[in-house]
Structure 1
Amino acid sequence: MKYIFIIVILFSSQKMFSQSATYKLINKEKGTSSNISVRRTDDQVEVNVLANWNNKAGTYGQFTGKGILTDNKTTIKAEKKSLLCKVSLKFLKDSLEASFQDCNNYQLTDRFNGIYAKIADNVTGEYIVSTDICYFYSKPDDKSRKKGFANTPEVINVEEIFEGEWGFATLMSNGKQLFGYVKLSDLKFKRTYLYD
C-alpha cells in the first residue's frame, strides 16, 4: 500500500507542472523583458502577458486570455483587427515555455518567445488590503515609501508582479488615485480582474 501511494504521488507530480505563478523572460540580446502571470483552476488557465520593449517610445505589449490545459500545454487564441494571435504555453517544472504567433497587433513578436523563469507564486489581479495599512512605494524597496496608502478592506489592482514579494498596483476609490509598488504580503488575492 505504501508503494502505491508513492507511485501515485510521483505520477501526479510529473503530470501537474502548471500552477498559479508569475514567470519572467529577460532577452538581453534584444533588450526586452516580459512577465506572464498564470492563474490555474483545475484544467483552466487565465493568462496575463505584459511585455516591455525597453525602447525610447515606451512600447509595451499586453495580452490576456483563457485556455484549457492538456498535458501541461495550452494554446490561447484572440482576434484583434482581424488577425488571429496564438499564444502557446508549455509548463515545465519551474519554468514556462512561451511562443507568440501572429501577435503583432498586441505588440508581442517572436522576441518574446522563450523560456520564462518562475519569479513568484502570486499573479496579477484584484487584491484586498489585508493589513491595517498598505503603503505605496516609488521603487520596490522599503526606503522609497510614499505618503499614499490603502486601508482594509480597499481593493487594489496589481498590474505587474516582481521578485521579492513586490507588485506594481493602482487604486482608484472614493476620489483617491494612487499608483506605485506595494508589498504583496499586505494583500490577499481576490480575483483575476481581466476576465469578468
Structure 2
Amino acid sequence: MARYILDHSTRPDPLLAELAAETAAATGESAEMQISADQGTFLTMVTQLVAPRVAVEVGTFTGYSSVCIARGLSGGTLHCFDVSEEWTSIARRYWHKAGLADRVTLTLGPAQDTLSAFDQPIDLAFLDADKPGYPAYYELLVGKLRPGGLLMVDNTLWTGHVADPDRHDASTVRMREFNDLVAEDPRVTVVILPLADGLTMIRKNPDLS
C-alpha cells in the first residue's frame, strides 16, 4: 500500500532527490530522520492552503522539510530552529540552490530557549525534533500559535508501536504520553494522519469567549 501511495503522489523533483541522496551519504543511519517524499508534497500543499505569514520549523536537519515548506510560502517567512551547524549547513546550500534563501531564517541553539525568545504570532508550525523535547516544544508552539493556526507534528505513530499495548520501551511510552497530552488539550482540535510514521495535525481553537 505504501508503495502504491508513493507511486500515485507527486514525485520529488531533482533538487529534492539530490538532497535526499546527499543526506543518506552524509548522515548514514541518521538519514531516517528525514521526512518521506509524500510528506514533503503534503507540507508544500498545506503551506499553500494556509498561506502563512509566519511559519516555524523545529528540527531542520539537512533541510528537506524546510525546502518543502518554503516552496509553499506566498510572501511569508519560514523560521527554522535547530542545534546542529553541521547538518543545517547542508540545508543552507539547498535553500540557495532552490532560490529560497530569502524566505528562510535559521536560529541555532536549544529550541526551548530560542523558541521562548521568538515573539511573533505563528500561523503554521512543523515539529520534527528530539522526541523527549516534544512536550516542551508543544507548549511553546501552541502558546505562540494564532487562533486558528496549525501545528504539524511528525513521528506520532512511532512505527505503530504507540498502538501496541505490549510495547513499554521508553521511547514508545514517551510518544504515547505526548499523544495523550495533545488529545486531552482543550485548546486544540487534533487528528493523526497515517502518513509515513504518523503526522498529527493540531489546530488551535479560535477564542469564542
TM-score range, shorter chain: under 0.3
The two structures have a TM-score, normalised by structure 1, of: 0.27
User: Which structure is higher in strand share?
Assistant: 1
The two structures have a TM-score, normalised by structure 2, of: 0.25
User: Which structure is higher in helix share?
Assistant: 2
Larger Rg: 1
